[in-house]
Structures are given as structure tokens and as C-alpha cells.
DNA sequence: CTAGAACCTGGAGCGCACTCCAAGTCAAAA
DNA sequence: TTTTGACTTGGAGTGCGCTCCAGGTTCTAG
């Protein structure tokens, strides 16, 4: 038995809930449930853990089955934000290592995220510029379509 | 030597200049020059051609060396716009096949580009939403930085 | 004429981010 | 208790978009 809601070690990172509440993981999610909750496949969840993206290894039931805490779910959700904005796995691993090391490296984490943000904005701008060029081509084809229509009637 | 600017067969696609002007490719570019002009490596230029991205095979000198026309360069430049906006090679090949087939399939090309545009905008939106979430995390770390500063003085 | 750079080809190799497989363990329902 | 399905692991496989290699031909400068 473990008391829930330990008010200690409340870090600024992810509000950590006790991973194993009650007997063998009550209040936690199986890997399939975590997959459903985050939109990431079970394969990928295991892969992410192997790749060092989880700050700390995910808690286990006595059966060795993974038990995802609410904090784990929030963390994975944040990982997906980094991923869909194009951060490479290696860099996510570096961020996870920093976050897993606890307080004291916030400046480094800030720098990492800020630099990522800069690259994302750069990329967004590049895509938008190229899309504008494609839009021009689209406009040309729309002209042709109008012309065809005139012929067809 | 040949006069520049043939006003004939001015299509709506890429204004085509004679690929082989004068003796064995005057007014055209070698693959290295084409690479410099487009920002695509010579390896990739050959790969693109193999992958069917060139509408028609690039013209050759008698030596079998490739000779890129101005139209080829514009085409490759447009290909890079499709690529940097995330179009897969397979789809670019399909577009190239349509463009290579000449007039009559403009509606299909328009549909392809329009659908691509839709997906790009969707993706841009997704990235922006996720970036906004990352921005919030950045703001948290900036708060911490300000707090640290207060401690340090 | 010759050296060295640039080009050619088919095919292999690479890095990334998954995705799946095999063989075994564990768990919830009949 | 037995079946069925979810879970475990290490490692292999996949798809994509290049990127490079080997072995040969061609071009260009001296």
C-alpha cells in the first residue's frame, strides 16, 4: 500500500503523480490505453522508451507490464508536439535527459526549445513561400479551366 | 550559334526552349551547372530522372552527358517547391507524367496541385497549433529564468 | 598527348522513424 | 483449468529520400 498524493518533489516540469497508486498500478494505464490516450502506437511507445525519450523508465506492474501514469501521458503528448513540429528523436532524447536530470538545467532546456522554435518558424516560412509559388501555378491551371469551360459551351 | 527566343509552341506549362541549340548543346547546362543552378545535388538530379520526375528524359550531348535546358532548370526548381512542401516522390512522378503527356489533362494536374495545397495548409495549421503549445512551455522556462535572476542578484 | 577532372551506369548503402516478428509470459473470462 | 488475448523482449524489416561506390568513358587544360 502506498499513500496517494505525495506533495513533495513538486517540480516545475510535469506535475508528477505517484506512478503506482494502490495495488500494482491502480490509477495508471496499460500500454494499449496509453496508446489510445496519446494517439501513438504501442510499438512506438516502446520504441520511444528504448530511445531514451521517457525521462525515467515507465513504471511496471509486478507482471513487468508497463503502467503509464498521468504524468507519463502528458509527457508523451508533449513529445508528439515536438515530433510533429519536426524535432529529431536524438534531440528529443537530449531534452528528455535534461528533464529527467531534475532542476538546475532549465536554462539549457529553454535554449533547446527556443532554438527548435526558431527552426520551426524558419521552416514554416520556407513552406509558405514555396506554397505561394505553387499557388501561382494553380492559378494558371484555373485560367485554363475557365477557358476550357468557354469552349465546352 | 542560334538566335535565342523561339516564339513558337509557347505552351502554358513550362516555356520550352530548344533543348539542343546549335552544336551539341550550346546554351544548356551540364549536370554540375544544373546542380548549382537549382541547389539540388548531381546525385539527386540523376535520381530524380530515374524516378520519372523529368517529364521527358534530359537531353544528351553526343558524349551521352546530360544537357539541361532552361526549361529543365525551371522544372527542377518547381519540383523543389513540391518537395519542400512535402509532396512524396511518387506523387511528383505522377504530376510529371501528366505534364509530360502534354495538353488535355490540365484538370487532373489542377486537382493534384489543389489537393496538395489543401494538405500543406492542414499540415501548416497542425504545426502552428503544436508550436503554440511548445511556446507555452517556453514561457514557463522563461519565468524560471527571471526567478533565477532574482535569486542571483 | 596526357593527366586529371567531370561525367556515365547499375546497384549498394545509409539515416531516420518507425513497424513488425518470434517466442515466450501473463491475465481475465468461460 | 483452459483458452484467448494482451503483454514482454531483442532484433529484424520497411519505406523514404537520398547518397555513394566501382568501373568505365569523355572532356579540358597544359
The tens digit of pLDDT for each residue in A19-72 reads 344 456 667 999 999 999 999 999 999 999 999 999 999 999 999 999 999 999
Of the three residues B85, B103, B121, the one that is the final residue of a domain is B103
Q: CA of B84, closest CA in chain A: separation in Å?
A: 6
Q: Are B4 and B29 members of one domain?
A: yes
> Nucleotide C6: nearest residue by CA–C1'?
B32
pLDDT tens-digit profile of B66-86? 999 999 999 999 999 999 999
Q: What angle do CA A44, A50, A53 make, to 5 degrees?
A: 80
Are B83 and B38 within 8 A, CB to CB? no
Give the contacts of A7 (CB within 8 A, at least 6 positions apart). none
For residue B135, give the chain A residue with the closest CA: A117
Measured distance CA(B55)–CA(B53) in Å, rounded: 6
Q: Kindly state the average pLDDT of the residues A15-20.
A: 38
Inter-residue contact B28 to B20 (CB < 8 Å): yes
* Distance, Å, B29 CA → C1 C1': 28
Cross-strand bridge partners of residue A21: A26
Considering the domain architecture, whether residues B124 and B148 belong to the same structural domain is answered as yes
CATH number at residue A87: 1.10.1660.10
pLDDT value of position B20: 40
Q: Are residues B121 and B70 in the same domain?
A: no
Interchain pair B113, A148: CB under 8 A: no
What are the chain A neighbours of B130 within 8 Å (beta carbons)? 80-81, 84-85
User: Which of B124, B131, B142 is closest, CB to CB, to A127?
Assistant: B124
Whether residue B78 is found in the same domain as residue B141 = no
- The reply to whether B99 and B110 lie within a common domain is no
Distance CA B80, CA B38 (A): 8
Amino acid at each position: 500500500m502506498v499513500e496517494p498524493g505525495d506533495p513533495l518533489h513538486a517540480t516545475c516540469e510535469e506535475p508528477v503523480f505517484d506512478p503506482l497508486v494502490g495495488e500494482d498500478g491502480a490509477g495508471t494505464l496499460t500500454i494499449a490505453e496509453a496508446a489510445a490516450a496519446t494517439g501513438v502506437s504501442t510499438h512506438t511507445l516502446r520504441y520511444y522508451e528504448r530511445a531514451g525519450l521517457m525521462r525515467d523508465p515507465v513504471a511496471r506492474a509486478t507482471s513487468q507490464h508497463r503502467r503509464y501514469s498521468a504524468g507519463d501521458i502528458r509527457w508523451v503528448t508533449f513529445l508528439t508536439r515536438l515530433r510533429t513540429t519536426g524535432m529529431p528523436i536524438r534531440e528529443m532524447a537530449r531534452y528528455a535527459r535534461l528533464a529527467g536530470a531534475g532542476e538546475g538545467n532549465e536554462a539549457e532546456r529553454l535554449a533547446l526549445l527556443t532554438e527548435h522554435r526558431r527552426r520551426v518558424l524558419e521552416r514554416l516560412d520556407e513552406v509558405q513561400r514555396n506554397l505561394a509559388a505553387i499557388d501561382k501555378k494553380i492559378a494558371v491551371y484555373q485560367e485554363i479551366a475557365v477557358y476550357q469551360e468557354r469552349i465546352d459551351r
